[in-house]
Amino acid sequence: MAKLQNKTDIYDRVAWGIVGAIALLAIISFYAIWIAASNDSTLGTPFKAVVGQAVWYILSIAIVIVIMQFDADQLFKIAPYAYGLGIVLLILVLIFYDRSSFVNNGAKSWFKLGSLTFQPSEVMKPAFILMLARVVKDHNEYYGHTWRNDWILLGKIFGWLAPIAVLLKLQNDFGTMLVFFAIVGGVILVSGITWKIILPTFIVIAVLGTTTILLVTTNWGRAFLGHFFKAYQFERINSWLDPSGDTSSGAYQLWQSMKAIGSGQIFGSGFGKSSVYVPVRSSDMVFSVLGESFGFVGGVVLIMIYLYLIIQMVMISFDTRNAFYSYISTGIIMMILFHVFENVGMSIDLLPLTGIPLPFVSQGGSALIGNMIGIGLILSMKFHNKDYIFSTAGDF
């Protein structure tokens, strides 16, 4: 356990910049969900939809407050248990998955209890980040950075990722798998592994990704990739490459999102106004609500809020002298960055469609809790950084 060195006012130990950014995103979330529910009867009444999101926010805030009480030593110790629990949940969901969700989207990713659904992969993300930070911290503490040792560390990182990748493949959740790869990529960059290993590895990954996209554009390539990808995934790539090709089926959601955002032009259609129907608008396509209502300016303001949030997290990361904390913050930052980049990108046809929500804005409890756990870990760094000495996790 960490020992308190000197007492400071609790107010000064809270990262209020992060709290303020999350509060703004919560307000934006309530507005977007209200508008989406006002134009989609399947979401229930706007009041009910917003109250449901507010309840998830209240629960998430309580979780954040609890996580803030854990210092680096305690987080270091619970990392394997959090990872193990996450793996168990990912296995159980393959057995007790929500049948109706599977029929609709082909993924075995959700538990269902009454009217509530829960996606365990969302809370697995921060659990994996904790475990990854522990693995990298342990390795770097006991081994120097030689060519051989760096390859061993890389093997450890992908070794801990492998069970998650396999389970997500079985769940048919390719979008979430990409988030885990983004987390791994970020942690590898700050792990101390030599660029003589990192650069060729990233080049190989980039070449494989580009080759896969090129293969999708050919019939024989699709026949080969059909062993690894589902038909709906090819359909999403089709809509990305040619969004106006078939706007009545595969590209309908993307085309409607682009119409909504385009109709907002520079300043938007106006507060509370919406005339373009977009499927799944309260969650995956929530950016289209803001684009239609507030236009290009509104979209820029939203992205600037995310940028401010990221900058605040980076500042806390730089301020900490604890290596374990630094790896955690890198994983959390990459998780949120990838979510924002992918969600906004797919809404405007910059990237292919995936089921990745917009952090702190999209409707849904699982993603909100997972992201707020990440925020709790960041706030823990600020809360304990000045007043505690870490005996287990160590300093730089």
pLDDT digits (tens, 9 = 90+) for 48-105: 999 999 999 999 999 999 999 999 999 999 999 999 999 999 999 999 888 887 777 7
CB 253 within 8 Å of CB 353 = yes
Strand ranges, E, within 105-258: 111-113, 116-118
Q: What is the pLDDT of residue 296?
A: 95
Q: What is the pLDDT of residue 47?
A: 92
Q: pLDDT below 50 — which residues of the chain?
A: 1-7, 387-396
Q: What is the pLDDT of residue 393?
A: 45
- 204's tokens: 């190989």
* CA-CA-CA-CA torsion sign (108, 113, 119, 120): negative
Q: What is the pLDDT of residue 279?
A: 86
Q: What is the pLDDT of residue 254?
A: 87
Q: What is the pLDDT of residue 390?
A: 42
As a whole number of angstroms, the distance between CA 100 and CA 336 comes to 29
Q: What is the pLDDT of residue 216?
A: 72
CB 93 within 8 Å of CB 111 = yes
Cβ neighbours for 79, distance < 8 A, ≥ 6 positions apart = 127, 130, 131, 133, 134
* CA-CA-CA-CA torsion sign (153, 158, 161, 162): negative
